[in-house]
Structures are given as C-alpha cells and as structure tokens.
Chains A and B, each alone.
Chain A
C-alpha cells in the first residue's frame, strides 16, 4: 500500500517519498557577532595585585591596536542576506506598522527599504538586531511615511543569467492561485502573494540563480508583491 506525502513533487507516485521541508538550520545559524561589551562588572582594584593590573592594561592596549588596524569588513553570506530579506517579507504580513517597501538585489549590495507609519517603530527596529549586524542604514521621511533603508553586502555575478532558467523554475515552483507571470527576452515579472515571491526566491537560491541576476521585490499598495528579474546586469 502506498504512503501519501504531499511534500513530494506532484504527479504519478510510484514509491513512498521521503521528501521533507526543513528549516531547522535557521535555528543553528550563529547569532550576529556583537561588539564586545565594555567591562560590565567593576572588580575591587584594591584586591588586585599590580601584576594582574599590568597584564590587564597591556591586554587592553593590544586589543585596542587590533581594533584600530584590523577593522573587520562585513562578510558576504548570500544565505544570511536572503534570509533577512525573506524574513522582512514574512514579517510584513504579520507586523501592523512595519512593511517591506522594496528590495533591490544589485551587483554589490542588496538595498532593502521598510516603511512605517510611526517613526518610533523604525527606531525600535533599528535598535534591535539590525543594528548589531553592523548593517549601514538611513532613516528618512517622505509623503508622511517613515522609511528605513538598509544596505546589505552582496556578491552578484556580473555576467547575468539566462531568462529560460527562470521560466523553467517558475514551472517547478508551487504558487498560489493568484499569480501573474510575464517575461520577455530580458525580463521576468511575477505578481503574487508574499508566499509566492518567497517560494520563487528560495527556488532561485536552491538552484544557484539568485546571485546571477539583478532583481527587485516591491510591496504594492494592494498588499500584493511584485518581483522583477533582469537577465543582464545593469
């Protein structure tokens, strides 16, 4: 007797499928490294011998020297950046005030803009983990709406990719019943719900295509999302 598993690819099922969807690795992703806290407990200096005190001073000087001459560059992890963008799209559906406005995947950076009715929402947002990621951001106000624009590091392939790969990927992706796909020789457009866009971005990542293209995600006023992919790099 067959076993059902609707995670498997649809179609004729000849054998039991072991297919699964796993995002457990997201739990194990290391927390963003935070700058070392300044000394949080004040030891009783009177009890410290001068030797320990001298060693402490030298260690601080060495660490300060390392800090000055070896400024760490933000590391480019496409998975981390993509996860951040997808989380923002997902959070747009659940948070009342914060909304993803758009995200541009360019050759050397991903620029994500988030809008909020209340400025305090953006302050809380940037005070949280985003700030600790050392991701540069700017806050601005336009037409009575507040925005924060975050710039993530990214490494795109400057040669661009083949639009045919995007078309065949769309055929393999599980979409909702409310999508609209248009494409030309150089452009691929997908209108749909947030889950449609997420599914497609994940498929692009799984198939090693996400860094080949210049793409942008826009949150429309209707609440729907719009993904535009350009075959050639701008």
Chain B
C-alpha cells in the first residue's frame, strides 16, 4: 500500500505491507514536482503518480492520496438535528450556484453542541483527474483526504489518539502560520489557523467553537513563554509539520511538555530497513494517515 501526501509541490510517500505484527514500512521518501500548466492538472498528477510508482517496488499499485489544503475550500453551515432538508436549504443559501458547478461539496457533522456542519469543497477536475489517472496507470486509489484531516486519521490509527477524551492535532506551518484541529469525545470541535507571531499571535480563520479555539491559543502562548508545562485545553497534543519547519517543532518538543507527542508514523510502525529514523525530518509523513484508516497498527 502506497500512501502519498501533497504539501505544495512536494509529495511525500510511504509504502507499507501488511504483516503479522501490523503494517511494515518498506520505503519512504519524497519528490518535488512543479506545476507547469495549471490547465493540465490531470497530466500534472499523472506525472507525480507515475514517478512515485516507479520509485516504489510494488506488485499492484494500490494507493491513497492526501491533498494540500490549498486545493480545497472550507466553510460551515447550520445543521439543526441533522435534518437533511434543512441542511439542503442552508447549503442553497450559503453556497454559490456557479461554484457548485465546478466544485463537489462534502458535508461532515461537527460536535452536536455547535449545530454546524463542516463543508469541504473539492474541485471536480481534481477528482476527475485522479479517476482517469488511476485508469491510465491501471491502479487502485483507496481514498482521497486532505492535509491535517489525514494526519488526524493517522493519530487515531498509529497512536490511539481517540482513547483520550480530547486531543489536538497541531500542524506547525511556514512562517509560523499553524493549523489546529480539536477533537473532543470523538467529534470535531474546532478547526482553525493561528499565526504564532508576537506576544499574542493572531487567529487567521476559524470553524466551529471559537471559545475552544481561543483557549487553545492561550495554551500555546503559555507553553511558548514557558509559563506552563502542559496543555490544558486538550488531554493530548500531537504535533507535526509538512513544510520542513523543524526549528519550531524542535523548540516545542524540547520543552518536554507532559502531553505533547510528535506525530511521526515511523516512530510507531516497524520497518524492513534497520535505518535510524530522523524524528523531525520524517514528520511530513504524518499526512499519509488516511492510508491507515481501519488498519490495526
């Protein structure tokens, strides 16, 4: 099984095989591919997939893909009592008709108290390009996810994150532009971006419970200024980066906070090679998590 995740124009891949002791990693790495012509996105993804397939020694190419979040659209809408008719009405009000012609919308329930749904818009041409590329490459695609949501699946599968009453997925971003996802009692509470600059930082955008997001920001500011040795807004925090921002990751990791863990699949999964895993450099593999959906690790 080949798991691929996209971060800008960098593609990280992790290949694994099932074994009696759980998934066994056989290969991992990354490739770089610039977009030459945005009108030919199908050709672009074909080149990416073909190059990665050729690097990985697999019988039948079966893969999963995690998109960069910049390729999808996020929004929320009201969803009282999960009534489909009411949800449809809200969507008609909230979503642009023209946009719906080119974007496929997926709606996911957030924590019940919020009475909201998270909408994710995926461009039709991206979905379509994957379908035709799978045909062309005679391959199988087992799932498409996106960024931090794929990492969240990984946290559940690799590190049993869902055993905690609440957990936070923290993606350290370029130029201190972080993304965070809070899960409580198995439900999505808030998804937001925080610019970790200056004394107070700044919330860039936010979906779901704004109060919960503000508490997390307070927590981050406290641990950053070493006024606290643990996060109180979530029972466990899983931190990673996919942009190579290792300096910031090291800073927080070396604070030795009580409930902060690196979200690195290679620290958990067994490997065929007895290589020494670099715990920070391989963190981008966190977003290959959707490949492990439903897999016993």
Contact = CB atoms under 8 A, between A and B. Distances in A.
Given A7-B144, A24-B140, A2 B108 contact: yes
B205 interface: no
Given A6-B122, A195-B128, A20 B141 contact: yes
Chain B contact surface mostly: mixed
* A6, A93, A174 pick with most chain B CB within 10 angstroms: A6
Nearest to B100: A10
Interface size class on chain B is: 35 or more
B243 interface: no
B198 interface: no
Interface stretch (A11-19, A61-69, A70-78, A208-216): A11-19
* B122, B123, B134 pick with most chain A CB within 10 angstroms: B134
Contact of A20 (B138, B140, B162): B140
Contact of B105 (A10, A176, A198): A10
Contact of A4 (B120, B134, B139, B294): B120
Interface in A191-231: 195-196, 198-199, 202
A33 interface: no
Contact of B106 (A11, A86, A195): A11
Contacts of B87: 12
A177 B140 contact: no
Interface size class on chain A is: 35 or more
Interface string A17-46: 001111110110000000000000000000
A5 interface: yes
21 contacts: A3-B145, A3-B153, A5-B144, A5-B145, A5-B290, A6-B106, A6-B145, A10-B122, A13-B108, A16-B293, A20-B141, A20-B142, A26-B138, A27-B138, A174-B128, A195-B128, A195-B131, A196-B128, A198-B135, A199-B131, A202-B135
Given A4-B143, A23-B137, 9 more contacts: A4-B108, A20-B141, A21-B134, A24-B139, A27-B60, A86-B135, A90-B136, A177-B102, A196-B128
Interface of A: 1-8, 10-14, 16, 19-24, 26-27, 86, 90, 93-94, 174-177, 195-196, 198-199, 202
